[in-house]
Chain A
């Protein structure tokens, strides 16, 4: 479980996040949604420790991340897997080497065990046959799969996915969403997905947090999302005609 308490973040004179409180449960796909520039990616970067917040705490299983010393932070980071918006695969390494990378840096296992683990992860995301290709030779969807394989290589307790569907066609998006949900349940990890893709929210969202103007505006489940009377939330989720039709079909009202 990850808990965020009273988190605020500023860049210069610009207040990006204000007093964010949230709990992200284990075994669930927790989603942070919001418009572009609302502060959701900054929130995720504060949670994983890439940004240091001015106020507030991030607790991993009750342990405050920002109060930890360097070695303790390192230990927590080894329990985190992250899928980046652009996949962030290392260009000079092939698919197998990318997945092997965290194992070679930190795992205390033999070379053969590392390769077996990497092959298991690649097989789990259905891309084992591409293990000798380089990232530039892969499609966007394949790169995301490799990114997921690398993220789960170290058996993480926490999985962060920053816009996992960006740049993907609808079919591939659904495959990636399903994969994230399956992996979350299968390995019982705390998953946080940052997205503004409403299809993804309706496919996998369990605990959803809506960030607007740097504040937590709303929190609930996807069923509650459709019935909310929160004005800003409704403007965001029903901006597209498809979602208005989904609401009409599910609730009988437009």
Chain B
């Protein structure tokens, strides 16, 4: 199947996914379960990455702009801007595409090869809606929370790294993260996060849902889910940045 065929089948799957649910209460319960599975269980890795990401940004910024003409608070400013505008929404989305996307593709792909999706279809359950919709909703609801935590920990990581190594003083860093703050940048980051969450859930679910064969093909679907999610995220990231920031 060519790329146009895949895109067409992806949108047809979305149409089935968003058709009327059989029992809204069951879908909502599944959404809450998925928020725990896809979101809260990713909190540890997101926290760890974000803390060290912020620490590295601070040290690299300082070592690259070490000039008497540039004020010390700029390090905090640059760390905050890099974190809010790009690192937290995009890097965390790429990490989640690897962790959550492969999980979604493997789970749905295994259900396909074990005929569990056929079992749902024969019962009269809208298998696409039942399996995919809660994952989309859960990702779109929980990922902004993860990114907010990431932003905080990244900026905090920068503070710890800056003050512990002595390359930037606490007062200068705190002044920097408050200077020229534009609240819209957080809105921009959260819009990107929600769009990326939708991409991760749907592209990965598409790969899993159309798995054919056995366990080898489940592995291939899982890998493709990560690769395609990342590619789509990077392209959409550019488009959103141009639309929302220029």
Contacts and interface: CB of A to CB of B under 8 A. Distances in A.
Interface of A: 45, 48-50, 73-75, 77-78, 80, 82, 84-86, 88-91, 101-102, 104-106, 154, 160
5 contacts: A77-B124, A89-B116, A105-B124, A106-B123, A154-B123
B122 A80 contact: yes
B132 to A, nearest CB: 16
Interface of B: 22-23, 26, 114-116, 118-119, 121-125
A65 B201 CA distance: 33
Contacts of A104: 23, 26
Contact of B26 (A45, A48, A74, A105): A105
A153 B26 CA distance: 18
A84 B123 contact: no
Contacts of A88: 114-116, 118-119
A82 B122 contact: yes
Nearest to B113: A86
Nearest to B117: A88
A1 B114 CA distance: 29
B124 A84 contact: no
Contacts of B122: 48-50, 77, 80, 82, 160
A154 B23 CA distance: 16
Given A84-B119, A105-B124, A105-B125, 11 more contacts: A77-B122, A77-B123, A77-B124, A78-B124, A82-B122, A89-B116, A90-B116, A102-B123, A104-B23, A105-B26, A160-B122
B125 A82 contact: no
A49 B26 CA distance: 25
Nearest to B33: A92
A149 B23 CA distance: 22
A88 B119 CA distance: 7
Nearest to A147: B119
Of listed B114, B116, B124, residue having the most chain A CB within 10 A:
B124
Nearest to A45: B118
B124 A82 contact: no
